[in-house]
Structure 1
């Protein structure tokens, strides 16, 4: 008589995850070509006006909500929720995130490109007005880093398209709110996808439920501390609700994960012939 615990089944399922980079190079090439095209100042400016000109037609709270999905703490909470289902991706996520946290500030400081608000007399601005360090877009980098990490391990095509659409919406929202030029968001997308590609060579690691429960708790506490520090009375209530709603969901899932890890799992008996 064989006995299989639920934990063993989960670990066996995680081993079935494979990394598929077959079409990832084509995506990198496409984004690279679009970025090179937008290096043309006329095209970059015309695209900005075309996209930013749509801002009055979209509710401001919706623009802020979409663009906030690329914010570090908000996206970090979403990543944590996803990792609760696929903890073996943790090393890749940490590696890609570390690369982006190093490269984005360095590139911003090196180029020190003016933002649209510093270069144009008229544009639509939603949210905070910033003038410096435009290239590349950090929100776009984060969104495409997350999407790229999952693209290479997902099998469902509809889910892949949904991920890309979500990342595209975050990138476009940065132009819509007047924070970045098109070339900025394309450079951010390329950087995020590249970081995810480099991190994809990190092997998947199995973790015991107890160890993962502790790590998830540490990540949750870090996100709560960051969010508490960043929340201010000047923020739109929709953004505050979005961020803390995601954190509440993550807290519930982390607590459930921890409690399940502490409970002894009863063996499942196979039916006798």
Structure 2
């Protein structure tokens, strides 16, 4: 019996990635039920005060760091790093991201819900104070979109729990910093999971090395431009370090992959199993 070496089977392994939606519907149902419960104003307010009341006990830099993981450019850099490992997910991620980029602004404009700082006399605010367009939470949408896109193709249960807990921490941080109500974060989570679910029906595509390098270059350049425009002296230095550190890592990984792709191909080798 003969088998290909590990380096030779990378392409075959990627193309045989399966999509498991068996328990995804249960997750969406659970989040939907929680969001419906939080439509009750008294419960929504009580949960906000309970969670936001924990803010003084946690370092501000930690709260800002966690909540920034749901920011578009920061999470976009993390997505780029992950796509370097699983490039065949690119069409799904782009589809889900496009859906959220259309739906989130439309919903924010339509509901134009006031944020906690606009209605409460006392709350803890960490970072920028915002007053309008509270529903739904864009950070929560992005975090659960990313988690949901990976949940359906991952096999390791521990990794799935880590993804869910990470997305949940981003959503909770939006309440901790005083930016959103609990119903906003749950609606964002539901929207992100739904966008990922719709995008899961987009077929996996293995791009050619040339097309892959072009797309990676465009994404990296776009993130660099966005990050440059968004960085200001008023931002916490921890956030600036996090964002540019992730971009530096992504740039190094993209360059490494580009250099590896330029190496001459070795003859296909078979080894006896």
Does TM-score exceed 0.5, indicating one fold? yes
Residues 271 and 87 of structure 1, relative CA distance in 2, 3 Å threshold: closer
Cα separation, 2, equivalents of 1:7 and 1:56:
50
Corresponding residue of 2:179: 179
Aligned-pair distance for 1:170?
0.1
Distance 1:73 1:271, change over 3 A: closer
Q: Contact conserved, 2:19 with 2:153, CA < 8 A, in 1? A: yes
2-structure distance, mates of 1:105, 1:179? 16
- Please list, as runs of the form range in 1=range in 2, the aligned pairs for 1:200-219 lying within 5 A after superposition: 200-219=200-219
Contiguous gaps of at least 5 residues in structure 2: none
Tell me the residue number matched to 1:252: 252
On the 8 A contact 1:67/1:173 being kept in 2, the answer is yes
Q: Distance in 1 between the 2:75 and 2:10 partners?
A: 26
> Residue 168 in 1 paired to residue 154 in 2?
no
Find the aligned partners of 1:179 and 1:201 in 2 and give their Cα distance.
33
CA deviations on 1:141-198 (whole Å, 9 max, x unpaired) are 0000000000000000000000000000000000000000000000000000000000
How do 1:96-245 and structure 2 match up within 5 A? Answer: 96-245=96-245
Superposed displacement of residue 269, structure 1:
2.9
Give, in angstroms, the shift of residue 9 of structure 1: 2.1
Residue 84 (structure 2) aligns with? 84
Residues 220 and 6 of structure 1: CA distance in aligned 2, closer, same or farther (over 3 Å): farther
Task: Give distance in 2, aligned partners of 1:101 and 1:170.
Answer: 18
CA contact (8 A) 1:55 1:124 kept: yes
Matches within 5 A, 1:21-100: 21-100=21-100
* 1:7 CA drift (Å): 6.9
CA distance in 2, matches of 1:108, 1:270: 57
Kept in 1: contact 2:134–2:180 (CA 8 A): yes
Partners of 2:272 and 2:5 in 1: CA distance:
17
- Unaligned 5+ residue runs, structure 1? none
How far does the alpha carbon of each residue in 1:47-76 deviate from its partner, in whole angstroms, 9 at most, with x for none?
Answer: 000000000000000000000000000000
RMSD: 1.6
Deviation at 1:209, TM superposition (A): 2.3
The Cα offsets for residues 60-98 of structure 1, whole Å up to 9 and x where unpaired, read as 000000000000000000000000000000000000000
Deviates more, 1:8-17 or 1:120-129: 8-17
Alpha-carbon spacing, 1:163–1:271, altered in 2? closer, same or farther (3 Å): closer
- Cα distance in structure 1, aligned partners of 2:181 and 2:119: 11
1:245: Cα distance to partner?
0.3
Instruction: Tell me which residue corresponds to 2:270.
Output: 270
For the structure 1 residues 3 and 190, does the alpha-carbon distance in structure 2 shift closer, same or farther, using more than 3 Å as the test?
closer
Q: Say whether the 8 Å CA contact 2:3–2:271 is kept in structure 1.
A: no
Conserved 8 A contact 1:5-1:267: no
Shift of 1:215: 1.0
Residues paired across the two proteins, number: 272
Partners in 2 of 1:11 and 1:86 — Cα distance? 10
| TM-score (norm. length: structure 1) | 0.96
